[in-house]
Amino acid sequence: MIRAYRGDIVYSADKDELRVFDDSYIIVKAGKVLEITKKLPQEYKNLEIIDHSGKMIIPAFSDMHLHASQYYQRGVGMDRLLLDWLNDYTFPQESRFEDMGYAERAYDLFTEDLINHGTLHASIFTTIHYEASDYLFNLLERKGLYAYVGKLNMNQNCPPSLRENTKDSILDTERFILEHQGGKTVSPIITPRFAISCTEELIQGLGSLVKRYKVPVQTHLCESEEEMRTVSTLFPEYSYDSEIYLKYGLIGNSLSLMAHCIYLDEKDIKVLNSHGGVAVHCPDSNINVTAGLMPSASLADTGMNLTLGSDIGGGHDIPIYRAVARAVQVSKIRVQLGLDQRKLSLTEAFYFATRAGGECFGEMGAFDQGYHFNALVIDDERFRGLEIGISDRLERFCYIGDDRNIIARYVDGKLLD
């Protein structure tokens, strides 16, 4: 089926350019973009038109790092440092996901909130609990979202209720891969929490699964100075943080999503750039747990692949459009402190949140020919009064908009309920 969607269309050509089409039509066939045109060609004169005139049509957002199991603890413990926050709040709360009633309620609310705020692509941590992780995977599939879901791996430096046996952790991860690798829109992802909570034996075993099944990887990297000191104590034979992941194949064999990356040294940067690693900028959580300020503009200038994450629940706000605004704000603070030479532009941050994140799932996050029509319709009428162009309207939405402005959500051309 072919349809035309009319509106003010805007998406990222690349990190430095927005493509803007005022009052135009985007032609979609079988859920994928055919073309964008100012006037409908004669061949489309009888086409069904979904008219969103005066509204913005933008790509769906991608959240490339968040913890579904921490949804209930948003905005709690925000005066703690990272490791204290984990011990005081996160670990006790995650232990409750053994109770399927608790897990189902949390994951239902989490998924509803993702959709409400236009996050239709996401890379998600769960907990060590297999049944609860399976529930979230299947829920996202039913809702039609594109996602990576990883059952957490953790076998040290955590409460006994969350500490896995090394062999069982590897076997359960392989089982999760085999039982879920045929998903239509959701795929498994290998998920060691971070080096502090995984022994070298576990990291090695997970690396063997990456090589065998070519599944992606997600973890935390260089998030805080406290974390990095602990990693150095646990793994003294490694000279930089990404080295252990590189050695055992968790970087370089598939998509590798490395959250935070605040304190990368030159060796880390070289590893990620030469092996296609993706750094996920999570500005809210970095501030909340006093981790630091990611040098996003400087990293982007090295050619590093950057995306954005809400990092719920270290981050308190699930909308990725707010992370777009916050990323720009954080980069300005770094410039003011003399830590960076330039700030991020809104264009760059929007690119990280849409095209860069979407392309981690395939041809998504933009409206080029052949890309999935995964899109949001933004009604910003209540903000009118100032005559501004479409790119300025987009910026305004990222700063002051909310889910009430998102009046339609499409995945593969289908309107989500």
Q: Which of 62, 78, 69, 65 is nearest to 316 (CA)?
A: 78
pLDDT at 174: 98
**Angle between helix 390-400 and 320-336 (nearest 10):** 90
pLDDT at 411: 98
pLDDT at 82: 86
Highest CATH level, class, for 2-60+366-415: mainly beta
Is the model's pTM score more than 0.95?
yes
Spatial distance between the Cα atoms of 167 and 268, rounded to a whole number of angstroms: 29
pLDDT at 417: 81
pLDDT at 220: 97
Provide, for the chain, the percentages of residues in helix, strand and coil under a 3-state DSSP scheme, each rounded to the nearest 5.
Answer: 40, 25, 35
pLDDT at 286: 95
Give CATH superfamily name and number for 61-358: Metal-dependent hydrolases (3.20.20.140)
For 178-217, give the secondary structure using H, E and C: HHHCCCCCEEECEEECCHHHCCHHHHHHHHHHHHHHCCCE
Spatial distance between the Cα atoms of 344 and 332, rounded to a whole number of angstroms: 8
Structural contact between residues 61 and 120, judged by C-beta atoms closer than 8 angstroms: yes
Spatial distance between the Cα atoms of 64 and 31, rounded to a whole number of angstroms: 23
pLDDT at 187: 98
Spatial distance between the Cα atoms of 348 and 332, rounded to a whole number of angstroms: 14
The strand ranges marked E within 323-373 are: none
pLDDT at 44: 87
Spatial distance between the Cα atoms of 124 and 120, rounded to a whole number of angstroms: 12
Low-confidence ranges of the chain (pLDDT < 70): none
Q: Which two tokens stand for residue 242?
A: 């990404």
Domain residue limits, the chain: 2-60+366-415, 61-358
